[in-house]
Structure 1
Amino acid sequence: MKQKTSLLAAMAATAFICAGVPASAEGFISEVRLGVMDHDSSMFHDSHETSDPDINAEIRFVSPDFLAWAFAPRPLIGGTVNTGNGTSFGYAGLGWTFDLTDAFFIDLTFGGAVHDGSTKGRTATSKDYGCRAQFHESGSIGYRFDKSNALMLTVEHMSNGGLCKRNEGLTNTGIRYAYTF
């Protein structure tokens, strides 16, 4: 639990520090996101892990010019930390945001994750994820209040896609706040 508390504190400090970075044309951080997630959401399957909520933090960077051909995805790093004894993970990848209207948008991500759950069978507090490295993807529908502030309903999923012998994935649902620089 001490390790998770330290990780959670580090994520919160990083998010607050990044939120204080002034926006500029030369800036490399484009957005910071913070949220609360329903861990191992029973919306999609029977939940095995804890019902303690997750804290999610994510930093989005400005899309580099060489990714313009791929609809200009923004590189991202983030983490989802369980506040109890459930699985926590860090992730990195690419995120695409598509405007539906001036206010509504959808957001999709794809990348990889590393977790602290079990890889050698189910335990009292963890599913059997099969291997440490996983795929991570998410989808959100969001609403922008103005050019800087938005709220999103998010579903995120982590699994190894069948690359390891065992593959019990983790699906979280929740709400996140985004601040765009």
Structure 2
Amino acid sequence: MLKNKLIFATVAVSSACAFSLPALAGDGIIDEARIGIYDHNSNLAATRHETNNPDINAELLFKAPAWLQWMAKPRINLGANINTGNGTSIAYTGLVWDYNFTDAFFIEGGFGGAIHNGETSRQTASKLNMGCRVMFHENISLGYRVTNNSSVMLTVDHMSNASLCSSNPGLTDVGIRYGYTF
């Protein structure tokens, strides 16, 4: 039931954003929109305990607000990793910092919080026991700017509760994303 609500909410927000994105970007609120595909609960990071169905990632990055300039100008993100099978899906938000090696190559790191539709009290055949509903969310990307507006990124995306709950297996996705900067 929670998965259906999470998917419905993501579709509703995505639809609203799709219609309002050009206006919001033109006003300078939205800085970048991203979409990608992730290896869900990747066995590159650890033994896979969830479905091997991929995740679809969608993310908006907002321009760094003036009140966060003292923190090295992070952008605020809002995103979701929607599993295409019966695995855990998440919605997340946080702060994202960029560092440019050159005009084309960059690295990016993000930290914030997430909520998921996975299990919190038991493990099933397709879902880990995450222990808590609300989690920490981190990601790191290595990117390349193809043009002034387009970039591609290799991303590692992680969610865990930092052992604040009795179970803390964490969930790590690895994948590729495309970003369009307005």
Q: What secondary structure is seen at the aligned counterpart in 2 of 1:67?
A: helix
Could you say which residue in structure 2 is the equivalent of 1:52? 53
Task: Find the aligned partners of 1:80 and 1:18 in 2 and give their Cα distance.
Answer: 21
Displacement of 1:68 in angstroms is 1.2
Could you say which residue in structure 2 is the equivalent of 1:69? 70
Task: Find the aligned partners of 2:86 and 2:123 in 1 and give their Cα distance.
Answer: 14
Displacement of 1:10 in angstroms is 3.5
Letter in structure 1 aligned against 2:79 = G
Could you say which residue in structure 1 is the equivalent of 2:39? 38
Could you say which residue in structure 1 is the equivalent of 2:176? 175
Shift >6 Å, 4+ stretches: none
Displacement of 1:121 in angstroms is 1.5
Task: Find the aligned partners of 2:7 and 2:127 in 1 and give their Cα distance.
Answer: 18
RMSD between aligned alpha carbons?
A: 1.8
Q: What secondary structure is seen at the aligned counterpart in 2 of 1:48?
A: coil
Could you say which residue in structure 2 is the equivalent of 1:21? 23
Check conservation: 1:119, 1:130, Cα contact below 8 A. yes
TM-score of the aligned structures, taking structure 2 as reference length: 0.92
Letter in structure 2 aligned against 1:58 = E
Structure 2 unaligned residues grouped into runs of 5+:
none
Could you say which residue in structure 2 is the equivalent of 1:112? 113
Displacement of 1:128 in angstroms is 0.8
Displacement of 1:97 in angstroms is 1.1
Q: What secondary structure is seen at the aligned counterpart in 1 of 2:69?
A: helix
Letter in structure 1 aligned against 2:143 = G
**Quick one: structure 1 residues 22 and 160, their matched pair in 2 at CA, closer, same or farther if it must change by over 3 Å?**
closer
Taking only the aligned residue pairs, the percentage that are identical comes to: 47
Q: What secondary structure is seen at the aligned counterpart in 2 of 1:21?
A: helix
Displacement of 1:38 in angstroms is 0.4
Displacement of 1:157 in angstroms is 0.1
**Quick one: structure 1 residues 11 and 50, their matched pair in 2 at CA, closer, same or farther if it must change by over 3 Å?**
farther
Task: Find the aligned partners of 1:15 and 1:177 in 2 and give their Cα distance.
Answer: 17
Could you say which residue in structure 2 is the equivalent of 1:154? 155
Task: Find the aligned partners of 1:6 and 1:133 in 2 and give their Cα distance.
Answer: 19
